[in-house]
Each structure stands twice: as C-alpha cells, then as structure tokens.
Amino acid sequence: MKNHAGQHKLYFLADAFGKRGLPVTTLVPDLEENRAFFSDKPWVEALYYPNRHALGDAWRKSRVLGEDRWSAVWIVGVGLRSCVYRGRRRRHIPIVKDFDEFPSLIASFGRFRRMYLGLIERSMIRQADGFTCASAFLEDAVRAQRPEIAGRLCRLAVAISENEHVVDSRLVAKIRAADAGRSTLLYVGSMNRFYEDQINEVIGLAGELRARGSSARVRILGGGPDLGYFKSRAERSGLGSTLEFAGHVRREDLASFMEASEVLVFPFPVSPFNLSRCPTKAYHYAAANRPVVTNRTGEVASLFGGNALYYPEHDIKAFADCCATALSLHGQYDNRMAFEALTWKARASQFSRWLSIRGWLPEAFSADNLIPAESSRARS
C-alpha cells in the first residue's frame, strides 16, 4: 500500500516490535518510500517484492508464507493483493488479519467494487485464525461471522508514532505571524470525494463564520485528487480569506500547524463507513491537546469522551456555535490524555502481550521478557 494508513501502521508497529527485541520481518512492495523507511532500521528484516499486478503480489506473499519460519503472519490491507494461500502443510502457522475499516462500506465506490471488497473481507474473516480490529463496529462484525473466535480477537486502535508529533517552534511562529492575530480553526484531511460530507461541512462552517462577522479563519490542510474540485466550490461561495486551502504538508509538520491553531475541527457524521473506521487523524488531534469540535460518532467519540465539543451532524449553525465556545477556551483546555497512550509504542506492547497469550510469539520470547535466546532464529 502507498499513502495509506495501513502502510504507516505496518511501518511503526514493525519498528516498535524490533526495538522491543522481537525478531520481525516485513514483506512490502519495492517502493522507494518503503526502502527509505527501513533503511536505518536493522532490527527489522525487510523483504521487497516487485509491485506489479494483484495476482502476482498474492502469489509472492503465499510463497513467503510457505517458508515455514514464522510464529505468526499478520496481514494488513483488504484486497486481492492481501490474500494468501497457506496450504495444508502450513496450517500450523497462524494468520492474523488486521481490519481498521471496511472499504466495502465507502458509499462513493461503485456497486460492483463494493461487492468485490465485501467478498474479499468475508473471505479474509473466514480464513484467519485471529484478528486485530480497530473499532467496536469491526469487532462486532467479525464476531458475528466467527462467533467461536473468543479471545483470538484483539481490539487494537490506530495510533501515531512518538516521533511524528514534534512541534517546531520556528514553524509555529511563522504560521502565527502569517495569521496576523486571527484565530485559526484547523481541519486536516485528504481532499477526496469520499470525504465530501466532511469537507462540505467545513466549507459551510467558513460561510457561517463569515456571515456572523467573525474574524476567525478556517484552514484546510491536505492534498488529494479532488483538491481543485473543493477549492472551486469554496470560490463560488465567496468565502474570501475566511477559508484557506493550504494543500499538502509533511507529516512531520502537522504538529506545528496544530500547535499554531486554536481549535481543531472534525465533522464525522454517522455512516456505516465512519462507524467501521478508527481515524488516525483523531489521534493526531488528541496529541495536539487543542479543543476539538466533532460529532458524537464511533471511535472518535470513544477516544475523546467528554473532552470534545459535539454538535448535531449536518447542523452548521450548531457547528459554528461549538467553535465559538471552543475559541473561548483558549489557554484553558486540557484533554487529560497521556501522550504515551496515543502511540504505536503502546500498541506494540498491547499486541505483543496478546500474541504471547495466544502462544504466537517465538518460543524464546514472552510479553514480559523480550530478550531473544542466542540460538533462536524464529521470526514473527
């Protein structure tokens, strides 16, 4: 996968496992960014395969599974490329399937694409010996199809890398100087039409603020294939300087943009897809410790609990009211979330404990003592 949350999940968990002393191997497409990430991480064995057609990818992964040196195989992603054939001789190698969303529920996808993805999802659920699921919705869906799974399902939320959320004071000063004293409400997200409901509400918020004579501005961070489409919509609405499309920024700069903002906004209306997913963005927002205005939906509401301001979905006036309240909290807000709990380091600890309980770590390792025996060559 490329430019996808699953890609970063694989990156950061593999890195954290290796640093904890677990022998870990990744099998990823031969892309420059994959080689760049693992180039300075000798504690991870990175295997690369040519990134070609889907059937070829599935065949290569199945061949690696057949090496019979794995204590467990963890599969990230949904699609034909992520399907593997284990064969009878490798039934003893447990397959753990990860779900952080059901892409078959993306309403903007065509009917046949959604049917295909649903078929793949069900097939993966039938095959796997265990699961990591990022949301309550996903856990319930998996258990409905596999009621016997019991403790072989780990509720594993998404997270951020502890190295990602680093504030650059010079960049913060530069952003604030450009804002010239205006309060900024920030939205971070990909400019893609399957997020159209969310982005339209942010554009609507800017219009409501302008109609109220507010001096606050809304900044949208993020690039994507439909950036021009959304910019055109905003221009037709005559929002002027109240709305800024800042485009794509580096992941390592996100923390500084959040630090320079007074409020973070995240429309997240109820839909099957939103209920299924656990957005990484919510964890970036939580790490920033800024007031968050959102909807009381799914894993976002579970994460923030009583530490966010919630408005009824699609109610732009209520959205603006909550933002006004959030702006009044400047300097007085604290979400009381421990940063460590938001990181992949914490998820690696949780995941390795669960694997240990299942007996799916190499024999020389346990969740409490991740120091390898010198003779062990098993990998997970």
Name the residue with higher pLDDT: 264 or 379: 264
CA distance 305 to 311: 14
Residues 61 and 100 in one domain: yes
pLDDT of residue 80: 87
Q: Are residues 103 and 223 in the same domain?
A: no
User: What is the C-alpha to C-alpha distance for residues 343 and 269, in angstroms, rounded to an integer?
Assistant: 25
In a shared domain, residues 144 and 197: no
Residues 127, 268: one domain? no
**Secondary element (H or E) of residue 44:** strand 44-49
Nearest residue to 84 via CA among 52, 115, 61: 61
Average model confidence (pLDDT) across the chain: 91
Domain that holds residue 41: 5-159+343-358
**Residues 165-181 pLDDT 10s:** 999 999 999 999 999 99
Residue 231 has pLDDT above 80, yes or no: yes
The answer to whether residue 180 sits within a structural domain is yes
Q: Is residue 369 part of a domain?
A: no
Q: Is residue 140 located within the same domain as residue 182?
A: no
Domain CATH for 106: 3.40.50.2000
Residue 369 has pLDDT above 80, yes or no: no
Tell me the whole-structure pTM to 2 decimals: 0.90
Q: 334 lies in a domain?
A: no
My answer on whether 34 and 67 are in the same domain is yes
User: What is the token pair recorded at 285?
Assistant: 């927002």
Q: Under DSSP, is residue 85 helix (H, G, I), strand (E, B) or coil?
A: coil
CB 23 within 8 A of CB 372: yes
Instruction: Answer yes or no: is pLDDT of 379 > 80.
Output: no
- DSSP reduced 3-state for 327: helix
pLDDT of residue 373: 35
101 and 144 share one domain: yes
Whether residues 309 and 201 fall in one domain: yes
Please give the tally of structural domains in the chain. 2
Please enumerate in sequence order all residues whose Cβ is within 8 A of that of 275, keeping only pairs 6 or more positions apart, or say none.
135, 137, 297, 298
Residue 371 lies in a domain: no
Higher pLDDT pick, 86 / 322: 322
- My answer on whether 310 and 349 are in the same domain is no
Q: Measured between alpha carbons, how far is 121 from 105 in angstroms, rounded to an integer?
A: 11
